[in-house]
Chain A
Amino acid sequence: MTGSTEILVALIVVTIALAAVFLVRPSITVGVTGKILAFVALGILPALCIDAGMSAHMQRSEQTQFCISCHAMETHGLSLYVDDPSYIPAQHFQNHLVPADTACYACHTDYTIFGPLKDKLQGMKRIYLQYISTPPKVIVISGGYSNLQCLHCHAGARSFEENPIHSAMMASLTSNQVSCITSGCHDTIHNADQVENLKMWSPGQ
């Protein structure tokens, strides 16, 4: 449990204690002090708890450990440790080109104002498939993988911009007409179905 979660749990416990007063003795709202206390205990604090809870859950769902806690994602998590630099996610993860603790989220979120919300809705769909419907054997991203998720970091980077292949097709890349990962250039991605047969990198080796 992180420090912010501990503070949130403490806030929730205080709110429960205050709300319990009105469950046991609702008559205290007869006085002005009681009315103010009721407004705080049954209005302000619970709303604050919802807001803080949502924020905590949103932050937690960005963590790599959270993503791979789902059974269907275990092999995707394992692919981050493949000992082969041609594996794009592994190369990014192992060289800290993306934050290791939020590696999945770094490359799998829409960098728009509603990006995290769209991702949560996609996550809801996957939870539905996992627990209510039937999960697909091969997991694919609906609508394909957008180049914008690569360009969010690579655009403007010297090594990317000065690469003659990139500069020759920059317009196609930025307009998403040519995919970074399915055009034959950077097409070794997770390969989750093969990952258990590959040599793995062990941190600290």
Chain B
Amino acid sequence: MKLRAIGIRKYLQVSSALIILGLLVEIVSLLWFHPLSFVLFAFVGATLIGLGILVYLASLVFAGSPPTENRG
């Protein structure tokens, strides 16, 4: 149970870190009026945010599965 809880916490921390980083990149891309700003948003910002969401969804799957030590 403890191991599972620690795992979820790590997932959430990684997820939020990726999302925060991606959102900061998005802010920079919105304030930067340059042809590369779209590239920065699409390939860096959106990718980081998307990864963060995926990690969060993975944490839901992880939380939904029965803990390993209770099986059997």
Interface residues of A (CB under 8 A from B): 1, 5, 8-9, 12-13, 15-16, 19-23, 26-27, 29, 38, 41-43, 46-47, 49-50, 53-54, 56-57, 60-61, 65-66, 69-70, 120, 123-124, 127, 130-131
- Nearest-CB residue, chain B, relative to A128: B39
A66-B33 contact given A9-B27, A43-B57, CB 8 Å threshold = yes
* B31 and A46 contact, CB distance less than 8 A: no
Residues of B close to A5: CB separation below 8 A: 30
The smallest C-beta distance from B33 to any residue of chain A, in angstroms, reads 6
Q: Which of chain B's residues 9-33 have a Cβ closer than 8 Å to chain A?
A: 9-10, 12-13, 15-17, 19-20, 22-24, 26-27, 29-31, 33
A19-B30 contact given A43-B53, A50-B50, CB 8 Å threshold = no
A56 CA / B15 CA spacing, docked (Å): 24
* Cβ contact of A54, chosen from B9, B13, B35, B46, cutoff 8 A: B46
A22-B13 contact given A49-B23, A53-B29, A127-B39, CB 8 Å threshold = yes
How many residues of chain B are within 8 Å of chain A by beta carbon?
A: 35
* A15 and B35 contact, CB distance less than 8 A: no
Residues of B close to A49: CB separation below 8 A: 23, 26, 49
Q: How many A-B residue pairs have CB under 8 A?
A: 106
Extra A-B contacts (16), CB below 8 Å, given A12-B26, A12-B27? A1-B30, A8-B30, A12-B23, A22-B12, A22-B15, A26-B12, A42-B15, A43-B56, A49-B49, A57-B30, A57-B38, A57-B41, A66-B33, A120-B38, A127-B36, A130-B35
* B33 and A69 contact, CB distance less than 8 A: yes
The smallest C-beta distance from A135 to any residue of chain B, in angstroms, reads 12
- Nearest-CB residue, chain A, relative to B24: A16
A21 CA / B17 CA spacing, docked (Å): 10
Main secondary structure of the interface of A (DSSP, over half): helix
A23 CA / B13 CA spacing, docked (Å): 5
The smallest C-beta distance from B20 to any residue of chain A, in angstroms, reads 5
Interface residues of B (CB under 8 A from A): 8-10, 12-13, 15-17, 19-20, 22-24, 26-27, 29-31, 33-39, 41-42, 45-46, 49-50, 52-53, 56-57
* B38 and A61 contact, CB distance less than 8 A: yes
The smallest C-beta distance from B71 to any residue of chain A, in angstroms, reads 22
The smallest C-beta distance from A26 to any residue of chain B, in angstroms, reads 4
* B16 and A22 contact, CB distance less than 8 A: yes
The smallest C-beta distance from B26 to any residue of chain A, in angstroms, reads 5
